[in-house]
Every structure is written in structure tokens, then in C-alpha cells.
């Protein structure tokens, strides 16, 4: 059973870079059946898609964050990561990694079926 | 900001049927399927409905989804206290190239 677990610093200084890792267990990150995503949720607010990485290595990012975001996959470690640069207080949120089923042509209609428990990141000096 | 519109709150008494609505545009809900997520207090979101009206394994059939045009609905019948949660709709955004979420609806079981 696929499981995801986020990790990383809980506190980042303004103008710094937020770096998080999502460890994948129960299957290989190389498995073409999945795609991988980062989602965030500011305190008391709704969900915001950050970006997605596919088996091909292709990445897509939310335009509102695109200039500051990079998502990598580390196949040897079976994990993928998120880097968000030039952070401000507005980036304070709970960050989730998630995966979706990529086996269907219309994969995007099948949602994100597996989520990590999330990790809280505060941006503060 | 959320590109899908949901009412901020909904409520019902045990046993009732509650409906939560979600409104989007032609480039998301109008073209692609709607998924619904349930977020219990202090937990990660959980996929509740996918492809407009399909339930993942383990989701009770009290939960049902539907879509018409650029709007979608989640119905919860036989409301139970454990259904008290935040519910989010989502649909693929053709322009965004990623999922677009609604602002969420907080369901209170009275």
C-alpha cells in the first residue's frame, strides 16, 4: 500500500528557501502508475496546488508560484522534493505531498488518492 | 484564491441529507470531472468522490456526487456525527495544468 511522508524544517526565515521531502513507501517512485504532487494549506484556509512531477520528469507548477518553485524526484532514494525560494509569511502553511493514479488516459479526473499527513512550515524571523 | 466556488458552511441533523455545491467555469468543471475531498479535523484530505460520481473503496454509499455543466454537488445522506468535516471540490484546470480547488465547505452536524 502506497504511503507518503513529508519531512523538513518547520521554520524558515523570510527570503529564505523552503525545502521539503516526501518519502515514498510501499512502491517505487519510478512506477509509471503514479504521478506526484505538492499541495499546501495556509492556516484556516483552503487547499492550493503547488506543482506536479511525472515519471517522465516533466513538471508543472502553479503559475502563481512558478518563478519560485522547483520539484525534483530522487529515484535512488524513492522520494521527491519541493523547493520554494524567497519565502514570505504568506508561504506559512501545512504542506502535503500526494499521489494520483496515472494509469488512465484521463488520469486527472481520478483525483489524488494518497496523501501524506502533512508538515507545518512557518515563515518567520 | 480559489477558482471553484463553494458555500463556506453547511449543516444538518443526524439522519438528514445534506447537499454541498461547487461552481466552476468551462475550463475546469465544465470540461473535466469533479473530485471531492473530505478533511476531518486535524487530518490530511481524503479522496471521497472521483470522476464526478465514483467512490473509492471504503467510502460509504451515503456519499454521492453529481455534475451538470459548470456545477457539481456532493450529497451526504443519513448524516452522521463523524461526517463533520471540511469538504473540498476540485477539478482539473485546463489552463492551470493542475487541480483547481474550491474554498471548502465546513459541514456541521447539529
pLDDT at B44 over 70: yes
Do the Cβ atoms of A60 and B98 come within 8 Å? yes
- Tens of pLDDT along B82-91? 999 999 999 9
What tens-digit pLDDT sequence spans chain A (125 residues)?
999 999 999 999 999 999 999 999 999 999 999 999 999 999 999 999 999 999 989 999 999 999 999 999 999 999 999 999 999 999 999 999 999 999 888 888 899 999 999 999 999 99
Residue A82, classed as helix, strand or coil, is strand
Question: CA–CA separation, B78 vs B66, rounded Å?
Answer: 18
- Asked if B3 contacts B28 with a C-beta cutoff of 8 angstroms, the reply is yes
Looking at the partner chain, which of B2, B44, B47 has a beta carbon nearest the beta carbon of A111?
A: B47
Looking at the partner chain, which of B33, B88, B98 has a beta carbon nearest the beta carbon of A46?
A: B88
- Asked if B62 contacts B76 with a C-beta cutoff of 8 angstroms, the reply is yes
Looking at the partner chain, which of A63, A108, A115 has a beta carbon nearest the beta carbon of B92?
A: A108
The pLDDT of residue B96 is 87
Do the Cβ atoms of A109 and B90 come within 8 Å? no
Quick one: average pLDDT of B44-64? 97
Quick one: average pLDDT of B47-69? 97
Question: CA–CA separation, A122 vs A20, rounded Å?
Answer: 13
For A57, B59, B79, the CA distances from B65, given in Å and listed in that order, are: 33, 12, 15
In A, minimum Cα distance to B55 occurs at: A110
Indicate the pLDDT class of residue B19, thresholds 50, 70 and 90: very high
For residue B20, list chain A residues with Cβ-Cβ distance below 8 A: none
The pLDDT of residue A109 is 87
How many residue pairs bridge chain A and chain B with CB atoms within 8 Å of each other?
68
Quick one: average pLDDT of B20-44? 97
Looking at the partner chain, which of A52, A96, A111 has a beta carbon nearest the beta carbon of B90?
A: A111
Residue ranges of E strands in chain A: 3-7, 11-12, 18-25, 34-41, 48-53, 59-61, 69-74, 79-84, 93-101, 112-115, 119-123
Looking at the complex, report in whole angstroms how far the Cα of residue B58 sits from the nearest Cα belonging to chain A.
12
Question: CA–CA separation, A106 vs A100, rounded Å?
Answer: 11
Nearest-5° Cα angle at B91, B55 to B94: 140
pLDDT at B105 over 80: yes
Indicate the pLDDT class of residue B2, thresholds 50, 70 and 90: low
The three cell numbers locating residue B107 = 459541514
Do the Cβ atoms of A115 and B45 come within 8 Å? yes
Report phi then psi at A91, rounded to 5: -90, 0
Do the Cβ atoms of B92 and A115 come within 8 Å? no
Contacts of A6 by beta carbon, 8 Å cutoff, 6+ apart: A20, A21, A22, A23, A95, A96, A97, A116, A117, A118, A119
Indicate the pLDDT class of residue B1, thresholds 50, 70 and 90: low
User: B109, exposed or middle or buried, with CB in 10 Å at 0-12, 13-18, 19+?
Assistant: middle
Amino acid at each position: 500500500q502506497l504511503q507518503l511522508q513529508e519531512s523538513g524544517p518547520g521554520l524558515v526565515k523570510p527570503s529564505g528557501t523552503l525545502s521539503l521531502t516526501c518519502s515514498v513507501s510501499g512502491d517505487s517512485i519510478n512506477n509509471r502508475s503514479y504521478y506526484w504532487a505538492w499541495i499546501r494549506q495556509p492556516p484556516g484556509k483552503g487547499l492550493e496546488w503547488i506543482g506536479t512531477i511525472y515519471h517522465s520528469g516533466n513538471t508543472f507548477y502553479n503559475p502563481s508560484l512558478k518563478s519560485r518553485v522547483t520539484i525534483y524526484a530522487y529515484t535512488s532514494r524513492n522520494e521527491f522534493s519541493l523547493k520554494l525560494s524567497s519565502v514570505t509569511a504568506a508561504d506559512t502553511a501545512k504542506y502535503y505531498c500526494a499521489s494520483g493514479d496515472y494509469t488512465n488516459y484521463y488520469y486527472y479526473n481520478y483525483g489524488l488518492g494518497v496523501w501524506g499527513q502533512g508538515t507545518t512550515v512557518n515563515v518567520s524571523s | 484564491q480559489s477558482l471553484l466556488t463553494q458555500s463556506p458552511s453547511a449543516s444538518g441533523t443526524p439522519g438528514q441529507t445534506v447537499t454541498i455545491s461547487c461552481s466552476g467555469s468551462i475550463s475546469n468543471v465544465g470540461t473535466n470531472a469533479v473530485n471531492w475531498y473530505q478533511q476531518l479535523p486535524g487530518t490530511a484530505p481524503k479522496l471521497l468522490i472521483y470522476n464526478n460520481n465514483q467512490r473509492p473503496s471504503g467510502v460509504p454509499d451515503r456519499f454521492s456526487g453529481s455534475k451538470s455543466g459548470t456545477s457539481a454537488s456532493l450529497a451526504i445522506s443519513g448524516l452522521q456525527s463523524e461526517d463533520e468535516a471540511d469538504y473540498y471540490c476540485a477539478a482539473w484546470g485546463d489552463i492551470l495544468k493542475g487541480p483547481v480547488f474550491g474554498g471548502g465547505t465546513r459541514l456541521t452536524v447539529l
